[in-house]
Homo-oligomer: A and B are copies of this chain.
Amino acid sequence: MHSNPSVAPAGEGTLEDKLSRGNVFAVGCPARAILTNVTSRWGVLVLIALRGGTLRYSQIRRKIGGVSEKMLAQTLQSLEADGFVRRVSMPVVPPHVEYSLTPMGEEISQLVQGLTDWIETNLSGVFAARSAAAA
């Protein structure tokens, strides 16, 4: 019996609930937390990295430059908790753990990829703006 925020019974819910539901601008909006995870520094890169298919922990770490073990583990955990990443652990020695995108993860990673794609193709525009600002 998990709470389902999208189907709220009529006559139920506090004023604050009504204000924050479906409103990212509200302080308590639950979408903000998810957004924070997805758009976090390493979250973005992990989501994109896994678009190519299943990867092992060390493979992700090697693929993403500059990420520490701690942050990678932490990022993977939050993404897994939100249902964007699937973690499969093989009980063997040495340990073998595989990470992949869930269907939900595929969807959102596409949007994130769109963002990074736009930035990469418009890098020159941004730099032009910076130069103009400096002048």
Contact = CB atoms under 8 A, between A and B. Distances in A.
A111 B5 CA distance: 25
Contact of A119 (B34, B41, B125, B127): B34
Where chain A touches its partner, the secondary structure class is helix
Contacts of A131: 2, 9
A73 interface: no
A111 B120 contact: no
Contacts of A82: 126, 129-130
Contacts of A38: 115, 119
Given A31-B119, A81-B133, 15 more contacts: A5-B123, A5-B124, A24-B116, A25-B48, A27-B65, A30-B127, A34-B119, A35-B44, A35-B119, A80-B133, A82-B129, A83-B130, A102-B129, A104-B125, A107-B118
